[in-house]
Chain A
Amino acid sequence: MLLIPCPHCGPRNQEEFAYERSVDSLVRLDDAPGVAMAALYARANLRGEDHEIWVHVQGCGQWLRLTRDRVTHAFRDVEAL
């Protein structure tokens, strides 16, 4: 079970958060079709450290960027968005 260090509320139970998407999936308004396509459908899906966007839905409601190891579940970095 994850104890997610919310930059606004401090460490909170995983149950309060929702995983939104990985950072490499962000589509910008002026992206070319090929770039937007890749952002929608292509994931590095690393077996190791990756960057993710989570929301503290049942806490402060803020968006977070987590750098997290997908094998050990250890957090390296959490930043408010």
Chain B
Amino acid sequence: MAKTSFAAGRYSALALLRGALGGHRHWGRAWRAAEPGGPYDVIIIGGGGHGLATAYYLAQVHGVRRVAVLEKGYIGGGNTGRNTTIVRSNYRQPQLQRMLDHSLRLWHGLSDELNYNVMFSPRGALFLGHSDADMVKLAERGDALIAMNIDAELMTPDAVAKLVPLLDMRRDARWPIEGGLIQRRGGTARHDAVAWGFARAADNLGVDIIENCEVTGFLRDGDRVTGVTTTRGDISGGRTAICVAGNSGHVAGLAGLKLPIESHTLQAWVTEPVKPMIDTVVMSQSLHCYFSQSDKGGIVGGGDPDMFPSYAQRGAPIRLEESIAQCIALAPALSRLRMVRSWAGVTDMSFDGAPIIGEMPLAGLYLNGGWCYGGFKATPGSGWLYAHLLATGENHPIAAPFGLDRFASGRTVDEAGAGPMPQHR
């Protein structure tokens, strides 16, 4: 791939060295503070990772450069900065496997492509099994993944103990560990850097990133959407793209539309930074908790969502306690650490647990949302697929199963097999 040139210069070891000699005074803004302009070819509502990735791939892959990204707050202030940074593609349904492995392949070259260190660390994503039934389920999932050419490796209890010595492997542990399933290409990334890297690269290609600009309504010409009204004035464009997962219901409501989505709160927490103690992402889907160690040293973890609709970016202590209790039972050493922060994000819980990418019932309006609490891992892939839809007007074959029409036609992608309810698992 040809290296992207940056107007303000590429980031490199040489640039760092030159900066050191000059007292680091030459570093400019990573992206312009763009003013609303237009008309644009594409208006993207939402300056999170997905929206910024969409803008980048629109400009980079499709040559569509008259693009605006509207962000109600600041870049990296929403769910992009609130997740637990886990990246993996080991899903069960083939539609999700195809989509998330496409994304995972983009992750593996992302720092080079963006000329920005997103600190992607494929350290392995491990699911634990706690019973014979769990192991049968994990083996079945592993087989399904391998059949799709996605890496999966079933592990014995001894292999799990060797990989993560902190785990409580006693037979009489609260949740005995009977083995695991690991995806070694999975791992973590620095979430803020992903947003910043995409923002800088998109801006460099001419995309206007407009912060503190909240969409308040849609400009209409009959049944066609022709732009948006915002707190910074009206902005018109050819295609308007909603990309605000967490708030999809609210923004669709501004156009008078309803979605198969409920907004729920999901919490996460981090401990004080300590020396390296876990170099794998550990997850249990039977319990539903997950933890890993950030590059700064904090143990980052989370669990179930709060299980009731909420747009408040704060959660109830009962869920926090649940996920922490589970993590501590699995790795008792964690009990000695102090928690320094917990926070919450608002997630789009879709009614089959899968994302929605496609056209809306109004011409010129598109949706990318419904990521439940699995959106971060999909950031590059979601942007790439959404850019394809916005540039060509047609969903890419990988995104085709995720159209909004799948609910009416009964072709849901129901990973949990739980029917028409906001999926909790």
* Complex contact A70–B316 (CB within 8 A): no
Once the chains are docked, how many angstroms separate the CA of A65 from the CA of B312? 20
- The residues of A that contact B407 with a CB separation of less than 8 Å are 37, 40-41
In whole Å, how far is B271's beta carbon from the nearest beta carbon of chain A? Answer: 22
CB of A1 closer than 8 Å to a CB of B: yes
* Complex contact A22–B262 (CB within 8 A): yes
Pick from B247, B316, B420: contact of A1, CB below 8 A. B316
* Complex contact B249–A43 (CB within 8 A): yes
- The residues of B that contact A21 with a CB separation of less than 8 Å are 421
- The residues of B that contact A41 with a CB separation of less than 8 Å are 260, 351, 407-408, 420
In whole Å, how far is A73's beta carbon from the nearest beta carbon of chain B? Answer: 6
Once the chains are docked, how many angstroms separate the CA of A19 from the CA of B318? 15
Take A41-B420, A70-B312 as given contacts and tell me if A46 and B250 are in contact as well, using a CB distance cutoff of 8 Å: yes
* Complex contact A70–B260 (CB within 8 A): no
Once the chains are docked, how many angstroms separate the CA of A50 from the CA of B317? 23
- Of residues 22 through 59 on chain A, the ones whose CB sits less than 8 Å from some CB of chain B are 22, 37-38, 40-47, 50, 52, 54
CB of B258 closer than 8 Å to a CB of A: yes
CB of B261 closer than 8 Å to a CB of A: yes
Chain A positions within 8 Å of B, measured between CB atoms, are 1-2, 14-15, 18-19, 21-22, 37-38, 40-47, 50, 52, 54, 70-73
State the main secondary structure of chain A at its contact with B.
Answer: mixed
Pick from A2, A38, A71: contact of B258, CB below 8 A. A38
CB of B331 closer than 8 Å to a CB of A: no
In whole Å, how far is B159's beta carbon from the nearest beta carbon of chain A? Answer: 38
CB of B263 closer than 8 Å to a CB of A: yes
- The residues of B that contact A50 with a CB separation of less than 8 Å are 309
* Complex contact A19–B312 (CB within 8 A): no
* Complex contact A45–B250 (CB within 8 A): yes
Pick from B247, B253, B308, B316: contact of A44, CB below 8 A. B253
* Complex contact B250–A47 (CB within 8 A): yes
**Can you give 23 A-B contacts (C-beta < 8 A)?**
A2-B316, A19-B307, A37-B407, A41-B351, A41-B407, A41-B420, A42-B258, A42-B260, A43-B258, A43-B262, A44-B249, A45-B258, A45-B261, A45-B263, A45-B309, A46-B249, A47-B249, A47-B263, A50-B309, A52-B309, A71-B311, A71-B312, A73-B310
